[in-house]
Amino acid sequence: MKTIVMTGGTSGFGAETRMRLVTQPGTQVLSGTRSVVPGGPDTAPGDSDTLPLDLARLDSVRAFAQAVTDRLDGTPIDALVLNAGLSFRTGDRRTVDGFETTFAVNHLGHYLLIRLLMPYLAPKATVVVTTSGTHDPDHGTLLPTPPRHANARLLARPETDPERDTDPRSAGGRAYTSSKLCNVLTVRALATRPEARSGHWRVVAFDPGPTPGTGLLRDTSPAMRLAWRLLSQATRLIPRFNRREVVAAALTDLTLGTVTAPPGQYYARVVRNELTWTAPSRLARSDDARDALWADSADLLSLP
Tell me the mean pLDDT in the region 276-292: 98
Give the pLDDT of residue 211.
Answer: 86
- Using pLDDT thresholds of 50, 70 and 90, give the confidence band for residue 138: confident
* Cβ(47)–Cβ(18) below 8 Å: yes
Tell me the mean pLDDT in the region 138-159: 85
The per-residue DSSP string of 116-129 comes to: HHGGGEEEEEEEEE
List the one residue out of 283, 130, 122 whose CA is nearest residue 198: 122
pLDDT in tens, 212-255: 765 555 555 565 445 445 554 545 555 678 999 999 999 999 99
List the one residue out of 29, 14, 123, 120 whose CA is nearest residue 76: 120
All domains of the chain in start order, with CATH: 2-300 (3.40.50.720)
Over 60: is that where the pLDDT of 192 sits? yes
Gap between the Cα atoms of 283 and 73, Å rounded: 40
Distance, C-alpha 11 to centroid of its chain: 13
Gap between the Cα atoms of 8 and 18, Å rounded: 9
Helix pair angle (12-22, 244-256), 10° resolution = 50
- Using pLDDT thresholds of 50, 70 and 90, give the confidence band for residue 41: very low
Compute CA distances 127 → 39, 57, 80, 113, 212, whole Å: 28, 22, 5, 12, 24
Residue 160: DSSP 8-state:
G
Give the pLDDT of residue 49.
Answer: 87
- Using pLDDT thresholds of 50, 70 and 90, give the confidence band for residue 40: very low
- Using pLDDT thresholds of 50, 70 and 90, give the confidence band for residue 45: very low
